[in-house]
Amino acid sequence: MSLIGKIVTIYGNMVTAEVDGAIRQNAVAYCKRSDGVRLMSEIIRIRGNRADMQVFELTRGLKAGDEVEITDELLSLELGPGLLGQIYDGLQNPLPLLARKVGRFLEPGHYLPALDRAKKWEFTPVAKVGDVVRAATNLGKVPEGIFDHYLMAPFDLAGDWKVKAIKPAGSYTIEEEIAVIEKDGQTRSVNMIQRWPVRIPLGFYETRLLPTTPLVTKQRIIDTFFPIMLGGTYCIPGPFGAGKTVLQQITSRHAEIDIVIIAACGERAGEVVETLREFPHLTDPRTGRTLMERTIIICNTSSMPVAARESSVYTAVTMGEYYRQLGLNVLLLADSTSRWAQALREMSGRLEEIPGEEAFPAYLESSIARFYERGGIVKLHDGRIASLTIGGTVSPAGGNFEEPVTQGTLKVVGAFLGLSYARSYARRFPAIDPLESWSKYKGLIDPQKVAWAHSFLRKGKSIYEMMQVVGEEGTAIEDFVIYLKSELLDTVYLQQNSFDDVDAACPPPRQKKLFDMVCDVLAYPFSFADKEEARDRFFTLTERFRNWNYTPWDTPALAEHEAKIRECLTPGAAQSKEASHA
């Protein structure tokens, strides 16, 4: 049932309409242009009989007096089998299909169904006639890629219902009836499609758990020093050019996780293109299938309408919650939450709200907190454990971490991977600053050992700074060796070459092995005659560790490289100097 209103004001992507009747906050509305095009909008404020709406399209051509159709439905997603491998805009329009239907440009007013209506899925019933079901109880399942995609009783069910009929195994489209349920003489037909409003967290579970299992990203600096957890949250702030997006791309490739959802929110279209052109050709080592089959891309790039950008992160997180509800581990990468915050700011400005710091709205922090809190690891009603991990990049203005979005984010995340321009400039990738970053989670390796190794980085830095003033000749050899040790740890452990096939992804056993070897060097009591000898030995060590890093696991060459590293840790290691020149 929808109401018809009339447009009163138009300013940017904000339109105000006058309407008589009950209006629902966050309901979807359509502004009708005089040429018949309907522009999707969302109601964001109601004052008397005036509804303020953010329009998800260019508002060019709208007139005062044009009709507005106000629905009773909140901005919702279509959920069901077929989401994986898709590329959607912030409102869940499938972009490749849109390109085929409408052409190269995103002309306003075209909306397509998110899920393929024609595709048949191999259905297997799980529930039986007579079973009692509640919202999100499994009724059956279909295979989607390598996963069992459970089909659940509708999320909006209230109380206990009974299965009256269920279809036998067979292939059905998502719109076909798979079950009939009843309650108090009322019956309801169920198909594979669920709808859920994006701004309301989706979660039918017994309890939320504390994140305890590390999410392996195969990036040493993350897994060892600043770990993230299944069901945890983390943020990556960094100035432009520090490699935020590259880090997100590497994570999306190598993370040991079932599903990756990439929310390209207000960033460059070119980066999304890299992902969507490359992922279909990359193999997921865990499954042997292409990476695209475990990925969903939500793409609302910087030149697409800003209101849809605001909703796109909710679209992404709702899909993440849906797949968590299916019992899977999901990683949501949002790039970048600052662009989303800017979208909030733009709307807030148009609504003429009293601005907070840097003109961001006062509710910025609570909005950020609510978003990250939608992640988490949960125990579902059937006992399975599933998780949604959220990682967001932050693009602070001027690279200054004091700004409101970074600060609002730091309060609510479990790990902070701060990128530094200085490290990126020195080509030390991933450019995560080891002295600024932190994680509240426990990683693969004993935290005490990690803290001990980390202490070298801090000591090394202060010695380096001292050396800038007094010169190398004014530095004691003991200090100089500590500095060399910290550089070694940085070069061969923290830095990782994403262009090298082997070094790009470092699995846990390899990390543990390498960490132990590096620790042996850190602990070794070297004695050098002079700084030249020290520098030379560490050059050799660095080179040999590098060779180790580039050599595949389980090859005889790896043991040889290890032996060569060990050679440098013997008292009479002078011969290693000759060996390095040979």
Residues that bind another protein (CB under 8 A): 8-12, 34, 58-65, 87, 95-96, 98-99, 102-108, 239-241, 266, 268-270, 272-274, 276-277, 299, 301-304, 306, 339, 342-343, 345-346, 349, 352, 355, 358-360, 395, 397-400, 425, 471
Question: Angle 246-260-178 (CA atoms, 0-180°, nearest 5)?
Answer: 160
> 258 or 271, CB closer to another protein?
271
Identify whether the C-beta of residue 233 lies closer than 8 Å to the C-beta of residue 414. yes
Does residue 168 have a known ligand-binding role? no
Helix (H, G, I), strand (E, B) or coil at 227: coil
> 128 or 427, CB closer to another protein?
427
Residue 399: count of CB within 10 angstroms of its CB: 16
> 13 or 217, CB closer to another protein?
13
Nearest distance from residue 358's CB to another protein, in Å? 6
Does residue 285 have a known ligand-binding role? no
Question: Angle 519-468-462 (CA atoms, 0-180°, nearest 5)?
Answer: 40
Nearest distance from residue 165's CB to another protein, in Å? 40
Question: Angle 319-316-222 (CA atoms, 0-180°, nearest 5)?
Answer: 105
Does residue 243 have a known ligand-binding role? yes
DSSP code of 168? P
Give just the sign of the alpha carbon dihedral 238, 497, 213, 260.
positive
> 58 or 502, CB closer to another protein?
58
> 170 or 241, CB closer to another protein?
241
Does residue 32 have a known ligand-binding role? no
> 63 or 384, CB closer to another protein?
63
> 50 or 134, CB closer to another protein?
50
Nearest distance from residue 265's CB to another protein, in Å? 12
Residue 87: beta bridge partners? Answer: 297
Does residue 245 have a known ligand-binding role? yes
List the end-to-end C-alpha distance of the chain, in Å, as a whole number: 83
Nearest distance from residue 195's CB to another protein, in Å? 25
For 240, 329, 390, the CA distances from 81, given in Å and listed in that order, are: 37, 16, 22
Beta strands in 167-302 (DSSP E): 170-172, 179-183, 186-190, 194-197, 205-209, 233-237, 259-265, 295-300
> 303 or 527, CB closer to another protein?
303
Identify whether the C-beta of residue 481 lies closer than 8 Å to the C-beta of residue 456. no
> Does the bond joining 336 to the residue before it have cis omega, within 30 degrees of 0?
yes
> 215 or 313, CB closer to another protein?
313
Structure tokens given for 577? 């100097």
For 541, 560, 579, the CA distances from 564, given in Å and listed in that order, are: 9, 6, 10
Nearest distance from residue 363's CB to another protein, in Å? 15
Identify whether the C-beta of residue 263 lies closer than 8 Å to the C-beta of residue 335. yes
Nearest distance from residue 316's CB to another protein, in Å? 15
> Does the bond joining 430 to the residue before it have cis omega, within 30 degrees of 0?
yes
Nearest distance from residue 193's CB to another protein, in Å? 23
Report the alpha-carbon distance of residue 302 to residue 470 in Å, rounded: 48
Helix or strand (DSSP H, E) at 70 = strand 67-74
| Tokens 């530094």, residue located | 420
Nearest distance from residue 168's CB to another protein, in Å? 38
Structure tokens given for 470? 């007094």
Report the alpha-carbon distance of residue 239 to residue 245 in Å, rounded: 11
Report the alpha-carbon distance of residue 316 to residue 273 in Å, rounded: 18
Does residue 238 have a known ligand-binding role? yes
Nearest distance from residue 201's CB to another protein, in Å? 28
> 47 or 104, CB closer to another protein?
104
Question: Angle 26-333-324 (CA atoms, 0-180°, nearest 5)?
Answer: 70
Nearest distance from residue 538's CB to another protein, in Å? 16
Q: Which residue numbers belong to the known binding site?
A: 238-245
Q: Which residue numbers belong to the known binding site for ATP?
A: 238-245
